[in-house]
Chains A and B, each alone.
Chain A
Amino acid sequence: MQSEKQSNSLIKRILQSISEAALIPFLAILTAVVIGGIIILLVGGDPIRAYTGLIQGSMGSRKAWSETAVWATPYIFAGLAVALAFKGGLFNIGAEGQLAVGAVFSALIGYALPEWLGFDLPVYIHLPLAIFTGMLTGGIWASIVGFLKAYTGGHEVINTIMMNYIALNTTSYLLNGVMKDKSPTNVIARTPLIAESARMPEIFEGLRVHWGFVLALFVALFIWWLLNKTTLGFEIRTVGLNPDAAKYAGINVKRTIVITMLFSGMLAGLAGSIEVTGLNYRHELGFSIGYGLDAIAIALLGKSHPLGVVLASFLFAAMRNGATRMQFLTQLPVDLISMLQALILLFVAADAIIRYIYRIKAKGERVVLTRGWGG
């Protein structure tokens, strides 16, 4: 009797905390949808048809669900990358560049390794190797910024952005040069197709959703475990909350900053390599653009919690996926989605506005996401 009561109240507590955590994001989405509808009206569109199109296009059929999952896969990885950095007190705006670097190197291993070795590799070696290379290079790319932050104080916000441009320029150089697809009909800056042995198998016959999606869910679980159940996770969170306290508690703050950026970049690199090995089978210039900002929005919307990130990724994926159907029904440009997402982000980031509109009292302490230039 006693224990039943306890477990009841535990479930109640969990439900309560979930509903409390989800309340602000939910209201933020609602408010953004309403304002988005007003904007659609202002430019002469039909908001009801637009939103119907969005829902139909993203969840209306088996294929629509599959495509939403396809969109969600890189979002989950990239969103986790930003979320993990947030937990460590770092603002990683560079997911885009890390993703591009990961994708390029994953593709390189995918198409060139058999040539270099002179023989074909079995899939259970080639595929993990391609994924791992992408993950690692993305991580190294980000850890440069972590290193600069920890040892010179160069602010990660500007440095990750600079690294984005450096990544974009370098991949343009490579994809237009040595790594360009040499087939005579190709005029696009893209790599050749990767070998069959570096491709991920599909889950269902005829649908594009691939095992990378399942991997993304597992990685989200792993990050939750890492953050909450391991010493490293504790160190990352402590440095994120209060680096001074962490220092006095004997945590190597500088090392933790570098490791946080390394892990964050590895997640973003994974986003790139999974797209290459699971979906596109090559890297094409321009594919990575926009992921960095989306990832930030997803991490904020998901409150930097792995489960929240997965849910937010689904929402963003559904919007991107449904946008085509929306455009078909209403002739509104797909870019409308970017604006909707910006509005959602605005209200999530500025939850004070939402609290003000809906008269909700603030509870608990404010979560420190970033600090000024002093770091």
Chain B
Amino acid sequence: MDWKRFSFIGVIIVVLFSLVVMVGQVKQPPLLIITSMLATTIAVATPLTLGALSGVFCERSGVVNIGIEGMMLSAAFFGWLGGIYMYNLYGFAPGVSIAVGVFVAILTGAIMALLLAVLSITFKVDQIIGGTVINILAVGLTGFLNRQLFFGKGSVFGGTVPASPGVLPTIHVPITELFTSICGTSATCLESVKAINRVFDQKPVAISAILLVFISHYILFNTRWGLRTRAVGEHPKAADTVGINVVKMRYANVLIGGMFAGLAGAYFTIESVPSFEPLLTNGRGFISLAAMIFGNWTPIGAWAAALVFGASQALLINMQIFRDVIPPQWSFLQESYIVGLTPYILTMFILTGIIGKTTPPAADGVPYEK
């Protein structure tokens, strides 16, 4: 990541935020708008961040993963399903069921990744076709099971979608409590601290996504494992000559990538809303890929790019909140279909490479032949 790209990200985020502040300031104080935008941005950037990390691990080891979307979708479904089964059929407590759901989601991501690995590493199938197979399989599988298990003949749930155990709780960071004594009786001070506190009150998957960004960065660039992963992705032949098992490294990294995508899936149905609908990932797997490319295949860069997309989604959400105070000359901002285009157009714009060319790992997408 160079300064050009980081400043582009900064400018876009500032523009998106100021837009919301300008529209919403008649209704709420700017600080409150900014912090709530920030909180939403971090939250909705979660699946994008995790998806991009998934891509980083796969592609750094030389496997193009275009199946992130499908991995997320199936993980979202099976994770949600796992929670429902535990809660309704086996009578576990909601907390336990939710935890099992997250575990199932990660496992699902890994299983789908295993399929990609078998296809692209063992059978040397064209990797983009392999990923597309995963995407189509995920749509078919989740669509079929979603209807069959709940509404099919002999369904254990008897034709209804049963109650879900709920969603992951928000983890409260006690900033407000810390500052209560400092603020004293000043109401504005307390209000501001409360507003800022909202940014830090995130849910577990969102928090782990941020932690994983830095952990991934450390692993990739400061450990032997990371060095080997990158070697396998840049020059597998050379890596092989010095005794690194190319196939094993690629399998392992694709599986890790799958787990990240699985956790991203958990965000949708276990952290965000406790329900599933067909095609709910809505292209976010592909936007993750764009974030990965824009981040030049680095975890921190990818995270920064994911935040831009998060901000453009937060813009859409906040514009709905301030719908009634949008000035008439900006009435197009009322149209969610138009504002909703932002992340997609941004993706295409970024991929043009105007903001600096990126270089994929040299052996990305190339099956290794001994």
Interface residues in chain A, defined as those with a beta carbon under 8 Å from any beta carbon in chain B:
43-45, 91, 93, 148, 152-155, 157-159, 161-166, 169-170, 172-173, 176, 289, 293, 296-297, 300, 330-333, 335-336, 338-343, 345-346, 349-350, 352-353, 356, 368-374
Q: How long is the Cα–Cα vector from A301 to B295 in the complex, in angstroms?
A: 35
Which of chain B's residues has its CB closest to A40's CB? B148
Is B207 located at the chain interface by the 8 A CB criterion? no
Task: Report whether B360 and A372 are in contact in the complex, using a CB–CB cutoff of 8 Å.
Answer: yes
Q: How long is the Cα–Cα vector from A297 to B348 in the complex, in angstroms?
A: 25
Is B322 located at the chain interface by the 8 A CB criterion? no
CB A145 to nearest CB in B, in angstroms, measures 9
Q: How long is the Cα–Cα vector from A358 to B172 in the complex, in angstroms?
A: 58
| Residues of the B chain whose Cβ atoms lie less than 8 Å from the Cβ of A166 | 341, 344-345
| Residues of the B chain whose Cβ atoms lie less than 8 Å from the Cβ of A45 | 153
Binary A-proximity of B279-299 (CB < 8 A = 1, otherwise 0)? 100110010011001000000
| Residues of the B chain whose Cβ atoms lie less than 8 Å from the Cβ of A340 | 140
Q: How long is the Cα–Cα vector from A93 to B131 in the complex, in angstroms?
A: 12
A43 and B348 in contact, given A158-B289, A173-B337 (Cβ under 8 angstroms) = no
Which of chain B's residues has its CB closest to A172's CB? B337
| Residues of the A chain whose Cβ atoms lie less than 8 Å from the Cβ of B210 | none
Task: Report whether B133 and A346 are in contact in the complex, using a CB–CB cutoff of 8 Å.
Answer: yes
Among B88-96, B120-128, B263-271, the stretch in contact with A: B120-128
Task: Report whether A370 and B129 are in contact in the complex, using a CB–CB cutoff of 8 Å.
Answer: yes
Is B132 located at the chain interface by the 8 A CB criterion? yes
10 closest A-B pairs by CB: A372-B365, A338-B140, A339-B140, A352-B123, A154-B351, A342-B140, A173-B337, A333-B147, A152-B352, A335-B144
| Residues of the B chain whose Cβ atoms lie less than 8 Å from the Cβ of A353 | 119, 123
Most buried by A among B123, B140, B147, B153: B140
CB B114 to nearest CB in A, in angstroms, measures 14
Q: How long is the Cα–Cα vector from A74 to B350 in the complex, in angstroms?
A: 33
Task: Report whether A349 and B140 are in contact in the complex, using a CB–CB cutoff of 8 Å.
Answer: no
| Residues of the B chain whose Cβ atoms lie less than 8 Å from the Cβ of A162 | 283, 286, 290, 344-345, 347-348
Q: How long is the Cα–Cα vector from A371 to B132 in the complex, in angstroms?
A: 14
Task: Report whether A335 and B335 are in contact in the complex, using a CB–CB cutoff of 8 Å.
Answer: no
CB A153 to nearest CB in B, in angstroms, measures 6
| Residues of the B chain whose Cβ atoms lie less than 8 Å from the Cβ of A161 | 283, 286
Task: Report whether B337 and A342 are in contact in the complex, using a CB–CB cutoff of 8 Å.
Answer: no
Task: Report whether A335 and B153 are in contact in the complex, using a CB–CB cutoff of 8 Å.
Answer: no
Dominant SS among interface residues on chain A? helix
Task: Report whether B132 and A93 are in contact in the complex, using a CB–CB cutoff of 8 Å.
Answer: yes
Known pairs A352-B124, A369-B126; list 17 more (Cβ under 8 Å).
Answer: A91-B128, A152-B352, A153-B352, A154-B351, A159-B351, A162-B347, A164-B283, A165-B282, A169-B338, A293-B135, A333-B151, A333-B152, A335-B146, A336-B148, A345-B133, A345-B136, A373-B360
Is B64 located at the chain interface by the 8 A CB criterion? yes
Q: How long is the Cα–Cα vector from A157 to B146 in the complex, in angstroms?
A: 28
Q: How long is the Cα–Cα vector from A339 to B66 in the complex, in angstroms?
A: 19
Interface residues in chain B, defined as those with a beta carbon under 8 Å from any beta carbon in chain A:
64, 66, 119, 123-130, 132-133, 135-137, 139-141, 143-144, 146-149, 151-154, 279, 282-283, 286, 289-290, 293, 335, 337-338, 340-341, 344-345, 347-348, 351-354, 357, 360, 364-366
Q: How long is the Cα–Cα vector from A45 to B153 in the complex, in angstroms?
A: 8
Q: How long is the Cα–Cα vector from A157 to B141 in the complex, in angstroms?
A: 23
- Cβ-defined partner of A155 (8 Å) among B125, B136, B351: B351
Q: How long is the Cα–Cα vector from A69 to B151 in the complex, in angstroms?
A: 30
A373 and B293 in contact, given A333-B148, A339-B140 (Cβ under 8 angstroms) = yes
Which of chain A's residues has its CB closest to B151's CB? A333
CB B331 to nearest CB in A, in angstroms, measures 12
Q: How long is the Cα–Cα vector from A196 to B356 in the complex, in angstroms?
A: 53
Task: Report whether B348 and A339 are in contact in the complex, using a CB–CB cutoff of 8 Å.
Answer: no
Task: Report whether A333 and B144 are in contact in the complex, using a CB–CB cutoff of 8 Å.
Answer: yes
CB B129 to nearest CB in A, in angstroms, measures 5
Task: Report whether B140 and A373 are in contact in the complex, using a CB–CB cutoff of 8 Å.
Answer: no
Q: How long is the Cα–Cα vector from A43 to B282 in the complex, in angstroms?
A: 28
A153 and B143 in contact, given A162-B348, A352-B125 (Cβ under 8 angstroms) = no
Task: Report whether B123 and A336 are in contact in the complex, using a CB–CB cutoff of 8 Å.
Answer: no
Most buried by A among B127, B148, B335: B148
Which of chain B's residues has its CB closest to A370's CB? B128
Task: Report whether B365 and A158 are in contact in the complex, using a CB–CB cutoff of 8 Å.
Answer: no
Which of chain A's residues has its CB closest to B357's CB? A153
Q: How long is the Cα–Cα vector from A342 to B141 in the complex, in angstroms?
A: 8
- Cβ-defined partner of B136 (8 Å) among A43, A173, A297: A297
| Residues of the A chain whose Cβ atoms lie less than 8 Å from the Cβ of B352 | 148, 152-154
Q: How long is the Cα–Cα vector from A235 to B286 in the complex, in angstroms?
A: 31
A158 and B64 in contact, given A173-B335, A373-B364 (Cβ under 8 angstroms) = no
| Residues of the B chain whose Cβ atoms lie less than 8 Å from the Cβ of A333 | 144, 147-148, 151-152
Q: How long is the Cα–Cα vector from A296 to B136 in the complex, in angstroms?
A: 10
CB B146 to nearest CB in A, in angstroms, measures 8
Q: How long is the Cα–Cα vector from A330 to B149 in the complex, in angstroms?
A: 15
Q: How long is the Cα–Cα vector from A43 to B154 in the complex, in angstroms?
A: 9
Q: How long is the Cα–Cα vector from A367 to B139 in the complex, in angstroms?
A: 27
Task: Report whether B133 and A349 are in contact in the complex, using a CB–CB cutoff of 8 Å.
Answer: yes
Task: Report whether B337 and A148 are in contact in the complex, using a CB–CB cutoff of 8 Å.
Answer: no
Task: Report whether B364 and A152 are in contact in the complex, using a CB–CB cutoff of 8 Å.
Answer: no
Task: Report whether B130 and A339 are in contact in the complex, using a CB–CB cutoff of 8 Å.
Answer: no
Q: How long is the Cα–Cα vector from A180 to B156 in the complex, in angstroms?
A: 42
| Residues of the B chain whose Cβ atoms lie less than 8 Å from the Cβ of A93 | 132
| Residues of the B chain whose Cβ atoms lie less than 8 Å from the Cβ of A330 | 153
| Residues of the A chain whose Cβ atoms lie less than 8 Å from the Cβ of B151 | 333
Task: Report whether A158 and B290 are in contact in the complex, using a CB–CB cutoff of 8 Å.
Answer: yes
A342 and B137 in contact, given A331-B153, A335-B144 (Cβ under 8 angstroms) = yes
- Cβ-defined partner of B144 (8 Å) among A297, A331, A336, A356: A336
Task: Report whether B137 and A346 are in contact in the complex, using a CB–CB cutoff of 8 Å.
Answer: yes
Q: How long is the Cα–Cα vector from A153 to B358 in the complex, in angstroms?
A: 11
CB A159 to nearest CB in B, in angstroms, measures 6
Q: How long is the Cα–Cα vector from A48 to B147 in the complex, in angstroms?
A: 21
| Residues of the B chain whose Cβ atoms lie less than 8 Å from the Cβ of A148 | 348, 351-352
- Cβ-defined partner of B147 (8 Å) among A335, A349, A350: A335
